[in-house]
Every structure is written in structure tokens, then in C-alpha cells.
Amino acid sequence: MAKTFSGGIHPGDFKERTRGLPIVEAPLPDRVVIPLLQHIGAPCKPLVERGAQVKTGQPIGAVQGFVSAPVHASITGKVKSIEPMPHPVSGKRLPAVIIERTGEDEWYEGVNRPRDVTSLGPDELREIIRDAGIVGMGGAAFPTHVKLTPPPEHPIDSVILNAAECEPYLTCDERLMIERAADVLAGLRLVQRILGSVKAYVGIEANKPEAYAALREAVGNDPSISIQTVEVKYPQGAEQQLIKVLLGREVPWKGGLPMQVGVVVHNIGTVLAIFEAVTCGMPLIRRVLTITGDAVGEPGNYMVRIGTPVGALLAQADVAPDASKLILGGPMMGLAQWTDEVPVLKGTSGILLLRNAASVVSRPCIRCGRCVRACPLRLLPAEISRAMEAGRVDLANEFYVTECKECGCCAYVCPSKRSIVQQVKVAKAELMRRRAEERARQNARAAQQTAAS
């Protein structure tokens, strides 16, 4: 029997349009927009200036802290400008390097060349992963080298490969497992090597038999990797849920991290990027994503250069004239966009275009409790929502609003169509603003005390 967790929902998966379509290399874009912030943490500092000639794989943005990841040119060309551009995650205009292509790929020194990895130790592997700019490619975009550097007080004994891909519509991870299972598992083994020969667990949903078979064949008789089938349920691929399902461990509340229970979780695309970075010096300049939706005439799974404008990809996808909603990611946790000028980021797993997307009217809560039953974290979404309607951010905080992963289960089952996830986002932003103000006040007091002494 497939393993699962409490709560969650069973939305339609809508994967049939792209599940059987092999990965296709998207044409090289004529222009890329590469934001200097594509990860959790500090933004990059630009390494190039307007007019500079760059090669594919060349670093163009340097880290400004440990929790950060460099960015690289994804095409060969000329830097047109460095200016604020629409950002698909923040919704604001953030600094980006704009490169216009001047020809086919000319690889930067050391990039796309085989490397002997047999003698490399954990520290050297981490350095390669850091310099390659690898981040979590399931959407969170947390710098991978940070995950692979746990503090001494949190020793890691297990690594989980998230092969669930529970988000509706998306099939890019499934295709990677089918087409490149050996490379995916080679990347997983590199993670094991870095963390000290830990046990690896692969959690794959039961609706992916071809991918499961490919992974089983690639694992062979390796006893250090266990492939386990999990129930088809959303959000089965969430870190806390996978850890609970596969290992029976509970990640602590109030900002708890998987490393606190001895676990590191990685996505399929992330371990493949690790494999490519370590074995052939390939920085994270491309990724596989799914282009789909009922407004897309030619859906598919594509290998796309980071920074490719979404509009350029949709121009080749036979988009219906009545397309009304553009989402980057899936329909549950993806972000609706106001323009197709936004670029593909390292964490962009899909481009979803829908026609006749109905607008909904939020109505008062009827206290049915469906959101509570659906919440995989056992929160009280209705109470958080009502607190925010009353302007009580402090009360929402008492209901652990910061623990919410914004999976959308509550909004999906709500008969009143309440905008619970949006209210959660507003609450988190306000709490973050208050914390920043408090830090600023503390720093100012400390400076005054230092000056007085």
C-alpha cells in the first residue's frame, strides 16, 4: 500500500497532455533577462558592465553572502544593459542582466568539459556546486551548497529525493526520471558522498510507473538507495510531508528545518544539476520545464535556457487567442503573472496558460471546517483568514501563520472561495516588515550606546 500523510487533497492532475512527450531542446533565445536574485538569500553583485561580451556559462553575478548563489550567462552575446526588469516571484522590477545573443554557444573556460570526479572530496564537491549557482529547482530556490553544509549539531543520516511531482499539470521531473534516470541517481550518489555515505530514499507517487521502473533499473542492487511509492495526493511532495511519510519524523514547528531531524531533501532537477556541474563543469544555465494548459496548442516538456522571456516560449506554443491567465509553476503553488515579459528562473518548473479562467468572489466563512481537515500541517486556516480580515496580524501570528507553506489546499476546498493563501502572504509580509523595523531600531540603539561610550 502506498504511503501517505494526514490532510491534503486530490485535485485533478491534468498531466495527460505532456506526460508522454519527450524533452525537447528549446531554440536558443535571441535575448535573455537574467535577474541577479533567483534564490532565497542575498542578491548577486553584477560582474559585468553594459557592452561587455560574455560567453555561455560565464559568471555574471557574484554572491554577497553564504546564503546566496551566483548567476551565469546562459547564451553567448553582448550585455545590453543592467536594469530593473519584471520579476516573476517578487512581482516587482528587480535588477537583471540583459544579454543579446551574437551567435551560437561559445563556452566559457572550463564549462561543458568532462571532469574526473573520483578523487574529489566533500569540500571540493560543495565548492563546485556553490560556484555552479545551483539552487532548489522545485520552486523554493534555496542555495544547494547551504543545504549540503549542515552545522555539526545537526548530523545528517538520510537524504530524500523528492520524485513525487504532485503539482497538477507538471511533468518535467517525470520525464527526467524516464529519460535520464542514471544521471539523476548519479547526482543523488554525489549528495550521499558529500554528506558522508548516508542512506537515500526516493519518494515517487504511484501514478508514475514508467519513471518508477526507470529508477529501479538504474538503482540496480545498490542497498544505499531505497525507492518507495507514495500515494497520489497533494501536497505529497512537500518536505515535511515526505519526511513524515518516508521516515516517520516530524520537523519541528516555529521555523524548524529538515536538518533538525537529520534529513536533507532534494528535487529531481536539483540532483541532475549537481551531476552536470560536477561531471562536466556545467553551471545552472538551463532547466527542464513543462509548458501546458488548455490555452496551449502545442504543450510539451522543454529544456530551456535560464533568462528566456516567457513570451518568446509562448510564441512557439500555439497559444489560443482567448488565453486569460498565465501562471509560472503549477495551479496550486504557482504565481499568476501580469506580463509575459518575465523570464524563466532557476526555480521555474512550468508555464501554465489557461483560457476562460473564472474570477471568483470571496464570501464570508461558513465555519464548515473543510480547510482545517485539508491542511497537511494541521493549522487553522479559517482563523488565520478571519484574523487578517479584522486587521489582526498579531492574532494571525498566534495561529502560526508563518508555518503555512502556502500549498493552497485550504483555498481549494473552501466553499466560500476565500482568498486564504493571499491573506497568509500579506500576514507574512507584514510580520517580516515589523521584524525588519525592530532590527533597525535595535541597531540604532546599539549605535547610540556605542557613540555615548
Return the pLDDT at 230.
Answer: 95
Rounded Cα gap, residues 328 and 88, in angstroms: 8
- Which pLDDT score is estimated for 226? 97
DSSP 8-state symbol, 36: S
- Percentage of the chain surpassing pLDDT 90? 90
- Torsion angles phi and psi, residue 44, rounded to 5: -80, 155
Q: How many CB atoms lie within 10 A of CB 18?
A: 22
Residues 6+ apart with CB under 8 A from 253: 400, 403
Kindly report the pTM of this predicted structure: 0.94
**Residue 303 β-bridge partners:** 25, 288
Domain formed by 129-280, architecture: 3-Layer(aba) Sandwich (3.40)
Q: Who's near 111: CB < 8 A, 6+ residues apart?
A: 55, 56, 57, 58, 281, 282, 283
Q: What is the pLDDT of residues 85-96, one digit of tens each?
A: 999 998 899 999
Length of the chain: 453
pLDDT 10s digits, 128-174: 999 999 999 987 789 999 999 999 999 999 999 999 999 999 999 99
Residues contacting 211, CB < 8 A, separation 6+: 163, 174, 177, 178, 181, 204
Task: Say whether pLDDT at 1 is over 60.
Answer: no
Kindly report, residue by residue over 170-203, the tens digit of the pLDDT. 999 999 999 999 999 999 999 999 999 899 999 9
Classify the C-alpha dihedral 400-401-405-406 as positive or negative: positive
Mean pLDDT of 65-86: 96
Which strand (E) or helix (H) includes residue 60? strand 59-62
CA dihedral 242, 246, 247, 248 (to 10 degrees): 80
3-state DSSP: the chain helix, strand, coil percent, rounded to 5? 30, 20, 45
pLDDT at position 405 over 70: yes
Would you kindly state where each structural domain of the chain is located, as residue ranges? 129-280, 370-435
The predicted structure's pLDDT at residue 408 = 96
pLDDT surpasses 70 at 238: yes
199-205 β-sheet, strand order: 225-230, 199-205, 158-163, 263-267
3-state secondary structure (DSSP) of residue 396? helix
d(CA 304, CA 74): 10
The C-alpha cell of 85 is what?
526588469
Mean of per-residue pLDDT scores for the chain = 95
